[in-house]
Structure 1
């Protein structure tokens, strides 16, 4: 067994910046007024959490969010708009590629099924991680301890796991380890 740590990367705002505002603008371009309704459903409701936890599939989420609001937008248009919310953080993607050559690496992201395959296909650097894990596949979200327990099965000792996230409760390193900020976090572009 290697004495190198398992290095785990979050995707959102670590490897790829994402924007709720951009999602709203995308939805409004398809159907004026749809942005606030769908952004709220995605990020401010139990239904949105259920989508990320894999408890509700994309089509069901869309039906339950769009129909009560009287939206005419189709599911394919919704998915295209919802997928177009990411901007790569190149220096962090390069870091993932570089570390993946010498360490075990993993992705652990609160990500819906609508995004997951799209992200892996669109951003090939993500494929360099040995273990790509997402909340919708694991049926739980960070910071739920169960998701970290599932991750620790990939590495015999959780004490050798380093997890990088922009959200403090989701980040951890071995006890008594000193960790400098490993990821660049450029300011969001205007």
Structure 2
């Protein structure tokens, strides 16, 4: 059955990222060890709460201040959000891959577990991949559900306005791909770049 919509994951598909860089950035800003930064950002579940839309950017920053007993002067919100977001690098070849998918399928979208700070940071970069105009944007922080939970896929299907079997989805995590496949999507696990290009060529029959 012909593919009519292609969803791309953000992290490790459209852009690469390294949470250890975010931990180092925040540790320098807060004056704490990298291990402590990792603990308060990730091990505590705070980042997941932020990405799932349970808390706002303001609440995220305020929680960090409370946990570390630091005031707004030491941890200004803008600097905190930049510190946790400055960990991405572009996968330049994905511009061509997304456009290839658009020409062949007609419409494309991004389907990502991400928070407002990360999304804004990526989109404001001068990289070509950051300027892609998506037909649909499904972010976990906006729909308040994270892959592989059912709700985020339901939102993506509704926004795509096509039958599940006509959706192709590319993601780097097997559990996210499996959840999509169980809904009838054509889903493929791979990284951005040549792997993603091969998937598009295979499923859409293009070069």
Q: State the match for 2:193 in structure 1.
A: 184
- Structure 1 residue runs of 4 or more that deviate by more than 4 Å after TM superposition: 172-182
SS in 2 for 1:106: strand
CA RMSD of superposed structures (Å): 2.8
Gap regions ≥5 residues in structure 1: none
Instruction: Identify the match of residue 154 of structure 2 among 146, 149, 155.
Output: 149
**TM-score normalised per structure 2:** 0.77
Kindly tell me the number of residue pairs found equivalent between the two proteins. 185
Deviations 1:38-95 (A, max 9, x none): 4333322333222101110011111112322224322221112112110111122331
Q: CA 1:70–1:179 in 2, change beyond 3 Å: closer, same or farther? A: closer
How many angstroms does 1:182 deviate by? 7.5
**Deviation at 1:16?**
0.8
Alignment partner of 1:37: what SS?
helix
Q: Under a length normalisation based on structure 1, what TM-score does the superposition of the two structures give? A: 0.83
1:130 paired residue among 132, 135, 141: 135
In structure 2, distance between residues paired with 1:54 and 1:178: 25
Please say which of residues 31-40 and 51-60 is displaced more in the overlay. Answer: 31-40
Query: Structure 1 residues 115 and 6, CA, compared in 2 at 3 Å: closer, same or farther?
Result: same
Check the 8 A contact 1:100/1:129 in 2, yes or no. no
Decide which of 98, 107, 111 is 2:100's aligned counterpart.
Answer: 98
Map Cα deviations across residues 85-107 of structure 1 (whole Å, 9 max, x no partner): 10111122331133223321110
Distance in 2, matches of 1:67 and 1:182, equals: 37
Contact 1:94 1:125 in 2 (8 A): no
Decide whether the 8 Å contact of 1:100 with 1:128 is kept in 2.
Answer: no
Flag the structure with higher helix content.
Answer: 2
The 5-angstrom pairing of residues 1-190 of structure 1 reads 3-33=2-32, 35-71=34-70, 72-103=74-105, 104-122=107-125, 123-126=127-130, 127-153=132-158, 154-171=160-177, 172=180, 181=190, 183-184=192-193
